[in-house]
Amino acid sequence: MYIEYVGHSCFYMVNDEGIRLLTDPYDNSIGLVPVSKEADIVLISHHHYDHDYLGGVTGDYQVIDTPGVHQVKNVSISGFELPHDDANGAKRGTVVAFLIETDGIRILHMGDVGAMPDDAFFQQIGKVDILMIPIGGTYTVDAEGALAIMDRMAPNITIPMHYKTTKLTLDIDSPHKFTTIVKKHYDLSRLGGSKFEITADSLKKRRRVLLMENSF
């Protein structure tokens, strides 16, 4: 599987069969170059401008933006509704976390999760190989909140997202606080790039955090 961190909460993935998945494409109002990708599946965790811009997406794609079980070609996608804030959705509503199962790998994209999910969520999710989780706070969980979810879920690889970068205009934290805390508990690797390839057989036994560069 090919995984590219486009930026913010947007990832571009291509499985071994060539099926192209895109998560949470953003527009240009947040200071980043808008997403421009050809896709077969577009996952939208919630309909905010920095997560649901389809203007730069091409191809005969299917949009998935709801909870429940979805089967697209040979890709299994399960959506789980979670609060977008620490008041059970009273401030900013809800988001959908997506569990993607393909190539023998289970990837969980948590959207703009704003608080620790309940026990039922973790029981339903089960094993996670790759976790994509926000760390920037303000609109989502912050560094400590992300770490608490990671500890509960025990993913093999965690990829941080939704944090402050040089050009991003949103008022959220840089990854510094998160990396300072997390390196005390996990192996921390800086990829030095925006993309990598992985197979189920190449997953390592020790849990680790992979900080990726944006592709813009």
Q: What is the pLDDT of residue 69?
A: 97
**Among 114, 112, 148, 106, residue whose Cα is nearest residue 131:** 106
Partners of residue 101 on adjacent β-strands:
76, 106
pLDDT at position 34, please? 86
pLDDT given for residue 214 in this prediction: 76
Which one, of 79, 71, 118, 70, lies nearest residue 99 by Cα?
79
Instruction: Quote the CA–CA distance of 51 and 1 in Å, as a whole number.
Output: 23
Residues 6+ apart with CB under 8 A from 213: 5, 191, 192, 193, 194
Predicted local distance difference test score (pLDDT) of residue 178: 95
> Backbone dihedral region of 84: left (phi > 0), alpha (psi from -120 to 50 degrees) or beta?
alpha
pLDDT of residue 204: 81
Structure tokens at 183: 């390196």
Please give the pLDDT value at position 216.
52
Query: What is the set of domains in the chain, with CATH numbers?
Result: 2-211 (3.60.15.10)
pLDDT along the chain (216 residues), means of 10: 96 97 94 93 94 95 97 95 82 91 98 95 96 96 96 96 92 94 91 92 89 76
**pTM (predicted TM-score):** 0.95
The encoded tokens of residue 192 equal 């030095």
Residue ranges of alpha helices (H) inside the chain are 119-125, 143-153, 176-182
**Residues 6 or more apart whose Cβ sits within 8 Å of residue 177:** 142, 143
| pLDDT at residue 84, rounded to an integer | 86
pLDDT at residue 206 in the model: 84
Q: Which residue has the tokens 């299994």?
A: 76
**Single-letter amino acid code for the residue at 162:** H
